[in-house]
Amino acid sequence: MKRIAMLSVHTCPLAMLGGKNTGGMNVYVRELSRELGRRGYAVDVFTRCESQIHPPIVELGPNARVVHICAGPLQHQEKNRLYEYLPEFVREVAEFADMEGCRYDVIHSHYWLSGWVARELQARWRVPVVQMFHTLGAMKDKVARPDESREHPQRIDTEREIMRWADRVVAATELDKRQMVTLYNVPGDPIRIVPCGVDLALFRPTDQAHARQEVGLDAGSSTVLFVGRMEPLKGIDDLLHAIALIQRNGNMPCSRLSLMLIGGSAEDHPDAMTGEMGRLIQMRDALGLQEMVAFLGAQGQDILPLYYAAADVVVMPSHYESFGMVALEAMACGTPVIASDVGGLSYTVVDGVTGFLVPAKDPDSLADAICHVLNDQVFRDTLGQQAARAARSYGWERIADQILAVYDEAESAYRVRDAVSATSTERWHQAQPA
C-alpha cells in the first residue's frame, strides 16, 4: 500500500470554514485525502495542534487520518509567527513516522509553510515532493490596496525556493502557472495544472423552496449570498456598495432584496475578527443597509449546500483567487455565480453561461450583473442548470486521477535527480586525494 504524507501545517482540514486561515485549502486537503484513502492509499495529514482538546489522531475516512503535531504554543497563532516553529514541527513528524513504522512514498505539501517542512523531511526520507501553494504571496501583494498589509518577505522568498526544487508543483489554472513563472522567475517545466474538485454527493441541486424553509429564509425574497473569509481581499466592501447602488437606483424592488454573508470564525484572532467585522458592519449601517444585509457567521459544511440552493445568486467579488472553490460549490448546487474576473474565477465561471464575470473593484458592474440575474427568472434558471452541468466535470474522482499522475511524475523526477546527485557525490569523493 502506497503511503502519502499530506502536509497542512497552518490549518487543519477539520476546522470550521470561513475563518481567517480556513477556506478552500482546508476542503481540498480533506476531500483529496478521503478520495485517495477510498482508493486504498494510506494518507496521513499532518497539521499543527492548536488546542489540548484536539485528539492526537482523527480518522478522516478509510485509510486516511489527521495527525495533530505539537509545535509551539497550544493555541492559535498568526501564520507568519509559525515560521519559528517549523523545525520543531519537522522533528515531531519524523518522530511520529519512526514510532509508527511509517515509510512514506510521496510528500504532498500545501502552502509555503508546509513546503519548507517538506524539504526538510525529503532530506530525511529521500522521497519526492509535490507542492501546492493555493495562494501566492507575490499576487496578494500585487492586488493589495495601499492601506492593506503586505505579505512577509520570508514567504515570497521561500515560495521561490520551493518552486525551484520541488519535484512537481501543482497550479490550479493556466493563469496560476503563468503567475508563478513570471512573478518568481522560475521554469515552468515542473508545474502541472490540476483544478480543484467538488464533492458532488454533498453539493447538488436541491429544491429552492425546501432549502429556504430549512434555513429560515423568506420564500419571496431575492437573495444574494456571499461565502468566504472576512478579509479585505474578498472585496466584501465592493459588494456592499453594489447593494447600496441597487437600492438607490431602484433597479429592482429592494423590499425583496437581501444579502446573506457567511464567514468568520472563533479561531480568528479576536482583534482581527472584531476589526474587519466591525468595519464591514459599520459600512453596512452607513450605507443604510441594516434591513437588507445579514452577517450569519461561520456555517458547517453540512448546511452550506442548503444556503447555496436557497440563494438566487452567489457573488464572489474577490480581488484575487487562485481558484475559487466557493464558486464551484455553488455551481454544483445549481446556483449561478457572479464573480470578479480574476485568477481562477476567470476559469471556473463561464461568463454568460454559468454566471457572469465582472471587473474587480467595480461596484457599478457588480450591481448591473446582480440585477440582470435577479430580474429574469427564466435566464437565472438557465444559468443554474448550466452551472450544475459544468460542475460535474470537477468531481474528486477525476481530480484524484490527475493528482496520482502527478505523483508518478514526481517519483520519476526524484529518482533521476537522486541518481545524478549520488553520481556527482561519488565522483567528488574519487577526485579527492588519498
φ/ψ region of 73 (left if φ > 0, alpha if ψ in -120 to 50, else beta) reads beta
Compare 10 and 79 and report the one with higher pLDDT. Answer: 10
* pLDDT recorded at residue 206: 95
Is residue 268 pLDDT above 50, yes or no?
no
* pLDDT recorded at residue 219: 86
Contact by Cβ (8 Å): 90, 121: yes
pLDDT band at 274 (very low <50, low <70, confident <90, very high): low
* pLDDT recorded at residue 143: 87
pLDDT, mean over the chain:
90
Distance CA 397, CA 394 (A): 8
Distance CA 300, CA 360 (A): 28
Is residue 427 pLDDT above 80, yes or no?
no
Is residue 198 pLDDT above 50, yes or no?
yes
Query: Mean pLDDT, to the nearest integer, of 278-284?
Result: 92
* pLDDT recorded at residue 266: 42
88 CA to centre of own chain: 26
Is residue 373 pLDDT above 80, yes or no?
yes
Is residue 265 pLDDT above 80, yes or no?
no
φ/ψ region of 172 (left if φ > 0, alpha if ψ in -120 to 50, else beta) reads alpha
pLDDT band at 130 (very low <50, low <70, confident <90, very high): very high
The sign of the torsion formed by the CA atoms of 13, 114, 318, 34 equals negative
Distance CA 202, CA 224 (A): 21
State how far the alpha carbon of 30 is from the alpha carbons of 7, 37, 263, in Å: 11, 11, 19
- pTM of the predicted structure, to 2 decimals: 0.89
Is residue 429 pLDDT above 50, yes or no?
no
Contact by Cβ (8 Å): 84, 61: no
| Per-residue model confidence as pLDDT tens digits over 309-367 | 999 999 999 999 988 899 999 999 999 999 999 999 999 999 999 999 999 999 999 99
* pLDDT recorded at residue 14: 84
Contact by Cβ (8 Å): 10, 292: no
Q: How many CB atoms lie within 10 A of CB 203?
A: 23
Is residue 99 pLDDT above 70, yes or no?
yes
pLDDT band at 214 (very low <50, low <70, confident <90, very high): very high
Compare 421 and 322 and report the one with higher pLDDT. Answer: 322
**Amino acid symbol at 58:** V
Strand segments, DSSP code E, in 72-111 are: 106-110
The alpha carbons of the chain give a radius of gyration, in whole angstroms, of 23
